Amino acid sequence: MWDVVDRIFLGASRNPDDSFREQEFMSLRYANRHGLITGATGTGKTVSLQILAEAFSNAGVPVFCADVKGDLSGIAAKGEAKDFLLKRAETIKLDPYEFQEFPVIFWDLFGEKGHPIRTTISEMGPLLLSRLMDLSDAQEGVLNIAFEIADDEGLLLLDLKDLRSMLVHLGENAKEISTRYGNVHSSSLGAIQRSLLVLEREGAEHFFGEPALDIKDLMRTTRDGLGAINVLAADKLMMNPRLYATFLLWLLSELFEELPEVGDPEKPKLVFFFDEAHLLFDEAPKILIERVEQVVRLIRSKGVGVFFVTQNPLDVPDTVLSQLGNRVQHALRAYTPREQKAVKVAAETFRPNPDFDCYEAITQLGVGEALVSTLEAKGVPGIVQRTLIRPPSSRLGPLEDDERKEVIKLSPVAGLYDETVDRESASEMLKARAEKAAEVAEREKLQEEKEERAESGSRWTLPDFDNDDRRTTSSRSRSSSSTKRRSSNRQTVGEAAMKSLARSVSTQLGRALVRGILGSLKKSLR
In whole angstroms, what is the distance from residue 526 CA to residue 523 CA? 5
Share of the chain above pLDDT 90, in %: 47
pLDDT at 515: 62
Asked, for residue 427, whether it belongs to a domain, the answer is no
pLDDT digits (tens, 9 = 90+) for 8-21: 999 999 988 888 99
Which CATH number characterizes residue 228's domain? 3.40.50.300
- Arithmetic mean of pLDDT, 107-123: 92
125 lies in which domain range? Answer: 119-209+498-526
pLDDT at 232: 95
pLDDT digits (tens, 9 = 90+) for 488-511: 444 444 444 444 444 444 444 344
| Whole-prediction pTM | 0.81
pLDDT digits (tens, 9 = 90+) for 190-204: 999 999 888 888 778
Asked, for residue 29, whether it belongs to a domain, the answer is yes
- Arithmetic mean of pLDDT, 219-240: 93
Asked, for residue 250, whether it belongs to a domain, the answer is yes
Of 409, 438, 466, which marks where a domain is finished? 409
Cis preceding-peptide flag for 103 (omega within 30 of 0): no
Could you tell me if 146 and 136 lie in one domain?
Answer: yes
Residue 501 vs residue 188, higher pLDDT: 188
pLDDT at 457: 56
The answer to whether residue 516 scores a pLDDT higher than 80 is no
Could you tell me if 107 and 219 lie in one domain?
Answer: yes
The answer to whether residue 486 scores a pLDDT higher than 60 is no
Could you tell me if 214 and 314 lie in one domain?
Answer: yes
pLDDT at 503: 44
pLDDT at 521: 63
pLDDT at 429: 79
Asked, for residue 264, whether it belongs to a domain, the answer is yes
pLDDT band at residue 354 using 50, 70 and 90 as cut-offs:
very high
Could you tell me if 246 and 363 lie in one domain?
Answer: yes
pLDDT at 462: 55
Could you tell me if 128 and 24 lie in one domain?
Answer: no
Q: How many domains does the chain have?
A: 2
Sign for the CA dihedral angle at 293, 127, 159, 120 comes to positive
The answer to whether residue 208 scores a pLDDT higher than 70 is yes
Could you tell me if 237 and 350 lie in one domain?
Answer: yes
Q: Which residues neighbour 510 within 8 Å (Cβ) at sequence distance 6 or greater?
A: 525
Of 388, 409, 430, which marks where a domain is finished? 409
The SS3 call for residue 229 is strand
Range from 8-12, 263-267, 286-290 carrying the lowest mean pLDDT: 286-290
Could you tell me if 382 and 356 lie in one domain?
Answer: yes
Asked, for residue 303, whether it belongs to a domain, the answer is yes
Q: What is the CA radius of gyration of the chain?
A: 31
In whole angstroms, what is the distance from residue 116 CA to residue 421 CA? 12
- Arithmetic mean of pLDDT, 231-241: 90
Q: Which amino acid is at 385?
A: Q
Q: Which residues neighbour 33 within 8 Å (Cβ) at sequence distance 6 or greater?
A: 300, 305, 323, 324, 325, 326, 375, 379
Residue 393 vs residue 476, higher pLDDT: 393
Query: Long-range contact list for 481-486, CB < 8 A, 24+ apart?
Result: 482/447, 482/448, 482/451, 485/447, 486/444, 486/447, 486/448
Range from 81-90, 207-216, 310-319, 443-452 carrying the lowest mean pLDDT: 443-452
In whole angstroms, what is the distance from residue 227 CA to residue 3 CA? 15
pLDDT at 485: 43
- Arithmetic mean of pLDDT, 143-170: 89
Asked, for residue 108, whether it belongs to a domain, the answer is yes
pLDDT at 242: 86
Asked, for residue 310, whether it belongs to a domain, the answer is yes
Cβ 410 vs Cβ 105: under 8 Å? no
Q: Is 394 left (phi over 0), alpha (psi -120 to 50) or beta?
A: beta
Asked, for residue 435, whether it belongs to a domain, the answer is no
The answer to whether residue 464 scores a pLDDT higher than 80 is no
Residue 51 vs residue 175, higher pLDDT: 51
pLDDT at 484: 43
Could you tell me if 27 and 53 lie in one domain?
Answer: yes
Cβ 99 vs Cβ 78: under 8 Å? yes
pLDDT at 502: 42
- Arithmetic mean of pLDDT, 140-149: 92
Share of the chain above pLDDT 70, in %: 86
In whole angstroms, what is the distance from residue 317 CA to residue 315 CA? 7
SS (H, E, C) 257-323: HHCCCCCCCCCCCEEEEEECCHHHHCCCCHHHHHHHHHHHHHHHHHCEEEEEEECCHHHCCHHHHCC
Could you tell me if 257 and 229 lie in one domain?
Answer: yes
The answer to whether residue 305 scores a pLDDT higher than 60 is yes
pLDDT at 310: 93
Of 409, 442, 475, which marks where a domain is finished? 409
**What are the DSSP calls for 34-66, one per residue?**
-EEEE--TTSSHHHHHHHHHHHHHHTT--EEEE
pLDDT at 463: 57
CA distances from 457 to 323, 454, 476 (A): 84, 6, 17
The answer to whether residue 361 scores a pLDDT higher than 90 is yes
The answer to whether residue 224 scores a pLDDT higher than 50 is yes
pLDDT at 479: 46
Backbone dihedral angles phi then psi of residue 221, each to the nearest 5 degrees: -130, 155
pLDDT at 494: 42
pLDDT at 523: 57
Could you tell me if 169 and 317 lie in one domain?
Answer: no
Of 286, 279, 195, the C-alpha closest to 245 is 279
Kind and range of the H or E run holding 389: strand 385-389
pLDDT band at residue 69 using 50, 70 and 90 as cut-offs:
confident
pLDDT digits (tens, 9 = 90+) for 411-439: 999 999 988 887 877 777 777 777 777 77
**Averaged confidence pLDDT in the chain:** 84
The SS3 call for residue 368 is coil
Could you tell me if 111 and 178 lie in one domain?
Answer: no
pLDDT at 443: 79
pLDDT at 490: 41
In whole angstroms, what is the distance from residue 268 CA to residue 185 CA? 47
Question: Which one-letter DSSP state was computed for residue 109?
Answer: T
Could you tell me if 239 and 379 lie in one domain?
Answer: yes
Q: Which residues neighbour 487 within 8 Å (Cβ) at sequence distance 6 or greater?
A: none
pLDDT at 460: 54
